[in-house]
Chains A and B, each alone.
Chain A
Amino acid sequence: MEEQKTPKIPVWDLPDVPKGKLPPHLELQRTRVLCTSDAPTHTENIRYSGAYASMGVDNSLRLGHFRDNFRVEVITLTEDDMEFDMIGIDASLANAFRRILIAELPTMAIEKVLIANNTSVIQDEVLAHRLGLVPLKVDPRLFEYMSENDVPNEKNTIVFKLHSRCERGSSRIKVLSNELQWLPRGSEFTLSTEKPAVDPTSRPRTYTSFNCSQDSLPEFSNNPIGPKHDDIMIAKLGPGQEIELEAHAVKGMGKTHAKWSPVATAWYRMLPEVVLLQEIEGEKAEELVKKCPVKVFDIEDIGKGRKRATVARPRSCTLCRECIRGDDWDKHVALRRVKDHFIFTIESTGALHPEVLFTEAVKILEDKCERVITELS
């Protein structure tokens, strides 16, 4: 091995590290993940308040500093999907919001299915599971949780009826989610313990005890409850087969069962940063443009027929690392990720709009803090 010759400099001749400012290489390691050809490095977030104390840099939490730097930029926003950039926040918080979105925001989902008749080929338990996964279009904030000893009432239960039949001699039919019919007055099935009514005017007791009809409540009178999508296939019926059932939806959270998760998924990625360390010109530039499968690079004319590579669309970089593979490409191109810039995506299942979901998620984190504070006081 060739011995590296570094000129010997006495320590006292070394230039002073400027106080109060991180040297560029440390600043780079602090704010960027470096994606080298074998593995990403400097992936950790340095959060200890005294981490840079020896250089006179205060790394402690300064709320004013956070307020000045934190930014949100909405990229797309539709009824169900949302993408936004969250800049100037730590991964631990971005991840907390993501985890809450997936597992701790309540929605309504079908939990109990009372099957009166099912002669289809799909078994009762599979049918019930399929029904559970149908997203419902209803604001969960209008309902209460049902605990073990509660009776189902208009505040904690939504009842749907499904009765579908395929006549003999006809061809096979599909049972779609639009056949789930909302019963605002509650269950229509009488309890099995109930005696046949002697007095025809008294209403027999059913599986729910609603005090009033749900559609008389102002929230639902113009806004009937139903599945979010009308075309979800629940079962198929052959001639002579029939399904008759009642489905009871209750409030729950994604950590109990994924059917209560309000998001199809919620995720984030760090902003990719592609840097050209040297000018790349001519044929080498063409080669670089061809290397990238998502067309991050472009070619720019710099006059006199000379061509230079530029980074045109760093945001679409998938970090496949194709552009730093082979030869000494990693001396020309550097792939990095910005540690405090998150591209956050929320896909709602339809109960609430994605922007409402995110606000609710942040509120839940606040509630958690409050709980700890009250317990400590």
Chain B
Amino acid sequence: MELGSYQDQSQATFSLTDEDHTLANSLRFTLNQDPRVTFCGYSIPHPSDARVNIRVQTTGDQASEVLKDSCQDLMLICQHVRSTFDQAVVEFKNKKGLDAMNIEP
């Protein structure tokens, strides 16, 4: 759900249900690093509501587009983390296999 005004699309508050610090803090990280963003922050209005509000203000671009791009960035980061991690695990297992067999790598 998005709350903003029709006149000025460069600022909006996005209210995400069933999300918490996990996503909001990560998104704040990517949003903050986007040069189009002048301000961003998030709040959880009440701890027993599963809801988080993310505020995005930009230098002129549409706030929802900027948020979407940030999500995209975060996904790319995650994919890279996953592939790097998997590779490191495979390497570690291979090395351990070699060590167990007492073979010089």
Question: Does A209 sit within 8 A of B, measured CB to CB?
Answer: no
A and B contact pairs by CB, cutoff 8 A, 27 listed: A48-B33, A49-B34, A63-B77, A70-B81, A72-B87, A74-B88, A74-B91, A74-B92, A90-B29, A92-B25, A93-B81, A95-B22, A99-B20, A358-B85, A359-B82, A359-B85, A362-B82, A363-B78, A365-B22, A369-B74, A369-B75, A369-B78, A370-B71, A372-B23, A373-B68, A373-B71, A376-B64
B21 to A99, Cβ gap below 8 A? yes
The digit string for B25-38, where 1 denotes a CB below 8 A from any CB of A, is 11111101111010
Q: Which of A47, A100, A373 contacts B72 (CB 8 A)?
A: A373
Smallest CB gap from B92: residue in A: A74
Q: Which of B35, B76, B88 contacts A72 (CB 8 A)?
A: B88
A63 to B76, Cβ gap below 8 A? yes
The range of chain A's interface size is 35 or more
Question: Does B19 sit within 8 A of A, measured CB to CB?
Answer: yes
Q: Complex formed: what's the CA distance from A290 to B14 in Å?
A: 55
Q: Kindly list chain B residues whose C-beta atoms are within 8 Å of the C-beta of A63.
A: 73, 76-77, 80
Enumerate chain A interface residues (CB-CB to B < 8 A).
47-50, 59-61, 63, 66-67, 70-74, 77, 84, 86, 89-90, 92-93, 95-96, 99-100, 104, 355, 358-359, 362-363, 365-366, 368-370, 372-373, 376-377
B68 to A96, Cβ gap below 8 A? no
**Smallest Cβ distance from A267 to chain B, in angstroms?**
15
Known contacts A92-B26, A365-B22; is A355 also within 8 Å of B89 by CB?
Answer: yes
Question: Does B84 sit within 8 A of A, measured CB to CB?
Answer: yes
Known contacts A61-B30, A77-B92, A370-B75; is A104 also within 8 Å of B22 by CB?
Answer: yes
B23 to A96, Cβ gap below 8 A? yes
Q: Kindly list chain B residues whose C-beta atoms are within 8 Å of the C-beta of A104.
A: 22
Q: Kindly list chain B residues whose C-beta atoms are within 8 Å of the C-beta of A370.
A: 71, 75
Known contacts A72-B84, A370-B75, A373-B71; is A61 also within 8 Å of B22 by CB?
Answer: no
Question: Does B16 sit within 8 A of A, measured CB to CB?
Answer: yes
Question: Does B43 sit within 8 A of A, measured CB to CB?
Answer: no
Q: Kindly list chain A residues whose C-beta atoms are within 8 Å of the C-beta of B34.
A: 49, 60-61
Q: Which of A48, A73, A363, A368 contacts B32 (CB 8 A)?
A: A48
A363 to B25, Cβ gap below 8 A? no
A359 to B29, Cβ gap below 8 A? no
Smallest CB gap from A365: residue in B: B78
Q: Complex formed: what's the CA distance from A67 to B23 in Å?
A: 21
A362 to B16, Cβ gap below 8 A? no
Q: Kindly list chain A residues whose C-beta atoms are within 8 Å of the C-beta of B37.
A: 49
Q: Complex formed: what's the CA distance from A242 to B75 in Å?
A: 54
Q: Kindly list chain B residues whose C-beta atoms are within 8 Å of the C-beta of A365.
A: 22-23, 26, 74, 78
B77 to A93, Cβ gap below 8 A? yes
Q: Complex formed: what's the CA distance from A321 to B50 in Å?
A: 40
Q: Complex formed: what's the CA distance from A59 to B34 in Å?
A: 9
> In chain B, residues 29-85, which have Cβ atoms closer than 8 Å to a Cβ of chain A?
29-30, 32-35, 37, 64, 67-68, 71-82, 84-85
Smallest CB gap from B86: residue in A: A359
B67 to A92, Cβ gap below 8 A? no
Known contacts A60-B35, A92-B25; is A77 also within 8 Å of B93 by CB?
Answer: yes
B23 to A368, Cβ gap below 8 A? yes
B80 to A66, Cβ gap below 8 A? yes
Q: Kindly list chain A residues whose C-beta atoms are within 8 Å of the C-beta of B81.
A: 70, 72, 86, 89, 93, 362
Q: Which of B28, B33, B84 contacts A49 (CB 8 A)?
A: B33
A376 to B22, Cβ gap below 8 A? no
